Structure 1
Amino acid sequence: MTEIAFHFNVPDKLGYACRLLRKAYRSAAEVGVLGPAPLLAELDRALWSFDQLEFIPHASTKQSGGVVGRYTRVWLAPSAADVPHHGVLVNLGDEVPEGFERFARLIEIVSTDERDRQAARRRWRHYGDRGYTIQRHEVGAAS
């Protein structure tokens, strides 16, 4: 069964996602990141520049062919079906990712924005109603 964790009260969702992806990359984890296209485009730019001395190799599932597809462990995708592995799924969107069940882990990143928090509550209920055990991480100002 998929391990599910919510990271609540994240003041900077993109910055937090970058740090989370850096940690995952360093541990050789395979990660798919889901979210709306504009947010994924912002994340793509942020992964190039969030740390002056470090770059997190990543690709969009639109670039899945060739060399990029063989060597990338971090994928930015519009849907879980587009992610070419079953490792970790990070959700930056408002909806329950269709097909999340095929992943070993799902991480939900939730900002301090009230609309984002309401959407997260709906996702939490969805997972809980289906019997998933959910871990809660309070991030707050320590992100």
Structure 2
Amino acid sequence: MTKVDFHILPAFQEHERIKYVTRLIRKAQSQSLNVLISTEDEAHQRAVSEGLWASSPDSFLAHEHIEEDFHPIQISCSDACGQHHQVLINLCNQTPNYFSRFERVFEVVSQEPSVLNASRSRYKFYKDRGYALTRHDLRDRV
């Protein structure tokens, strides 16, 4: 069964959330895991993509959009979930329909009110269905 982790960040800004996502991706890469990042729409997908390319001047995170060839790091703003099902990082306000295909789901939550409220609904969704949930409150650590 899919394991779901909620990472609760102190920041309001989306760029801080994307910065934290890069940390999650690097950890997944160190364990040879493939990652899909689910984004809200094409504009959000572009912002995340730009954040990954600019994550560090000497160690950017190469990635592809889901519609392109397979790559260990992919981004999607559609119902397509790709060929692997290891790690899903959900940056959408809703739970992607395909989330249960993945071994792990990371919900990255900022303190921006709409993101925070949507994450509470997703938490309840997973909990009501019996998924193993882990909550990482990073508001005092990041």
TM-score (structure 1 length as normaliser): 0.89
- Aligned residue for 1:138? 137
Measured in 1, the distance between the counterparts of 2:119 and 2:83 equals 25
Please report how far the alpha carbon of residue 141 of structure 1 lies from its aligned counterpart in structure 2 after TM superposition: 5.0
Please report how far the alpha carbon of residue 10 of structure 1 lies from its aligned counterpart in structure 2 after TM superposition: 4.4
Aligned length: 137
Deviations 1:104-134 (A, max 9, x none): 0110000011111110010011111101121
| Runs of 4+ deviating beyond 6 Å | none
Counterpart amino acid of 2:39? G
- Aligned residue for 2:38? 34
Please report how far the alpha carbon of residue 80 of structure 1 lies from its aligned counterpart in structure 2 after TM superposition: 5.4
8 Å Cα contact 2:5-2:106 kept in structure 1: yes
SS of 1:120's partner is helix
SS of 2:9's partner is strand
| One of 63, 67, 76 as aligned partner of 2:68 | 63
| Structure having the larger proportion of residues in helix | 1
Please report how far the alpha carbon of residue 23 of structure 1 lies from its aligned counterpart in structure 2 after TM superposition: 1.9
Q: Does 1:4 align with 2:4?
A: yes
1:69-88 correspondence to structure 2 within 5 Å? 69=70, 72-79=71-78, 81-88=80-87
Measured in 1, the distance between the counterparts of 2:56 and 2:74 equals 19
Higher mean C-alpha deviation, range 9-18 or range 114-123? 9-18
Measured in 2, the distance between the counterparts of 1:141 and 1:131 equals 28
- Aligned residue for 2:95? 96
SS of 2:127's partner is helix
Measured in 2, the distance between the counterparts of 1:133 and 1:24 equals 19
RMSD of the alignment, in Å? 1.4
1:11-22 correspondence to structure 2 within 5 Å? 11=11, 12-22=16-26
- Aligned residue for 1:119? 118
Measured in 1, the distance between the counterparts of 2:33 and 2:128 equals 28
Q: Which runs of 5+ in 2 are unaligned?
A: none
TM-score (structure 2 length as normaliser): 0.89
Deviations 1:53-109 (A, max 9, x none): 102121101222xxxx2xx21110124533211101000010011011111011000
Counterpart amino acid of 1:5? D
Counterpart amino acid of 2:122? R
Q: What percent identity do the matched residue pairs reach?
A: 30
